[in-house]
Amino acid sequence: MNDQKLRVGVVGLGFAGRTALEAFSELPDVEVVALAGLEKDVLTSLGEKHAIPHLYEKWEDLLETDGLEAVSIGTPTQLHAPIALKALEKGLHVLCEKPLARTVAEGTAMVEASKKAGKVLKVIFNHRERGDVAALKHQIDEGQLGRIYYAKAHWMRRNGIPGMGGWFTNRELSGGGPLIDLGVHILDLALHLLGEPSVSTVSANTFAELGPRGRGSNVPNANTLGSAFEVEDLATAYLRLEGGGALQLETSWATYRAPGDNFGIELFGTEGGAKIEVQNYTTVDTLRIFTDVGGVPAEVKPATGAGLGHRAVVQEFVKIVQSGDWAAHNGSEALLRTEVIDACYASAKAGREVVLNG
Ligand SMILES: NC(=O)c1ccc[n+]([C@@H]2O[C@H](COP(=O)([O-])OP(=O)(O)OC[C@H]3O[C@@H](n4cnc5c(N)ncnc54)[C@H](O)[C@@H]3O)[C@@H](O)[C@H]2O)c1
């Protein structure tokens, strides 16, 4: 390992930026040398808390910081591509929040820039790093479920539209609603657990029923009637997978259902099944494995740890950068997710199945 600390800049002061900042700050072999974001008071207080020498309002200025080696992007999604492209052009490594980008065109440009620069482009899929997901992945890799032929993944909220009227609900700034925001997480979980099958076709529907009427905000009693809501508030998709398997996705920011913010996945295999159900981000008692014991149906409830989430992704990013082995880490796996999400939007718009890898 280098004895010199990795010099990192963090862009964004919201949940994503702060989470990355905390994770980088606790690593002894990293120095956060720069921080950027538009909220001046937050910038000053985080800068003081973490003794960060360079504070900027704009990301463009952060990239000019002397000696910067890597940048972490936690901004609204429309800025992922511009920041990553400029950073890679300057020879910096990039850690980027999900989704990679708003569109395949943007994502492709980012992956190409990473390849050209020979620098790391890694996307934050933190839910893979939950303890229950890691335990289930281990079971699958050990063959406990046999061949998984069907999977269902969901992320459903009763009242969870983020920042109604802000960037999340503006199509130009976000690229879409819960499908690109939450759907990309559960798509990642599913493809990761299933061993990265390619997606042959997608057939999707999107709906916008509550948001446009000012309903479903994640801020209780907010007066949101008339707030701009340009994206879907519910999406469902059916994916045919290489090898004959199928995956169903269901995601919503707001819909009439039981209260809560719940995500999970169900897997159906030839030798066993499994279910992860996470209610309101709990990490306790979430995993079930279904099997037969002596010919009798049985259910196992493994006691899993919480996992490190974002911290694990940040640690992995630093490890990759320090390894010097960068070529394999160019964002192409994240781009596959963006291709599927893009195809889902195209399918919903056209009202028919879209072929990805026929
Ligand atoms: N992995 C996860 O679990 C997770 C959770 C939340 C958000 N996200 C992703 O993280 C990203 C940010 O989400 P958020 O909820 O933190 O958003 P947010 O709106 O809370 O924060 C965005 C930040 O970007 C900053 N910003 C905007 N324009 C800028 C500019 N020109 N220069 C410098 N800074 C600028 C803002 O000042 C703000 O601090 C999104 O892509 C989102 O999808 C991921």
CATH number at residue 92: 3.40.50.720
Question: In the structure, what pLDDT confidence band is assigned to residue 358 with cuts at 50, 70 and 90?
Answer: low
277 assigned to some structural domain: yes
DSSP 30-42: EEEEEEE-S-HHH
Going from the Cα of 75 to the center of ligand 1, the distance in angstroms, rounded, reads 3
pLDDT of 2 higher than 60 = no
Question: In the structure, what pLDDT confidence band is assigned to residue 3 with cuts at 50, 70 and 90?
Answer: low
Same domain, 103 and 138: no
Rounded to whole angstroms, the Cα distance separating 56 from 87 reads: 16
With a threshold of 0.85, does the pTM exceed it? Answer: yes
Element containing residue 192 per DSSP (H, E) = helix 184-193
Q: Which of 10, 11, 15, 161 to mutate to test the pocket of ligand 1 (most atoms within 8 A of CB)?
A: 15
Say yes or no: CB of residue 39 within 6 Å of ligand 1: yes
Q: What is the pLDDT of residues 164-215, one digit of tens each?
A: 889 999 999 999 999 999 999 999 999 999 999 999 999 999 999 999 999 9
Same domain, 155 and 270: yes
Going from the Cα of 74 to the center of ligand 1, the distance in angstroms, rounded, reads 4
Exposed/middle/buried for residue 171 (C-beta within 10 Å: 0-12, 13-18, 19+): middle
Which two three-digit tokens encode residue 114? 């990473």
Same domain, 232 and 291: yes
Q: Per the structure, how many domains does the chain have?
A: 2
pLDDT of 222 higher than 80 = no
Locate tokens 């008692």: which residue? 285
184 assigned to some structural domain: yes
- Which range of residues forms the domain containing residue 68? 6-124+310-330
* Mean pLDDT over the full length of the chain: 96
User: What number is the average pLDDT over the span 231-237?
Assistant: 98
Residue whose CA lies nearest to ligand 1 atom number 20 = 14
User: What number is the average pLDDT over the span 303-312?
Assistant: 94
Q: Which of 41, 64, 75 to mutate to test the pocket of ligand 1 (most atoms within 8 A of CB)?
A: 75
Say yes or no: CB of residue 77 within 6 Å of ligand 1: yes
Ligand 1 atom at shortest distance from the alpha carbon of 18: 16
Tell me if 345 sits within 8 A of 206, measured CB to CB. yes
Which two three-digit tokens encode residue 293? 């014991």
Going from the Cα of 354 to the center of ligand 1, the distance in angstroms, rounded, reads 31
Same domain, 100 and 154: no
Report the largest interatomic distance among the alpha carbons of the chain, rounded to a whole angstrom: 66
Sequence-distant (≥ 6) Cβ neighbours of residue 158 within 8 angstroms: 254, 255, 256, 257, 258, 259, 260, 261
Same domain, 183 and 273: yes
Judging by DSSP bridges, how do beta strands 287-293 and 273-279 pair with one another? antiparallel
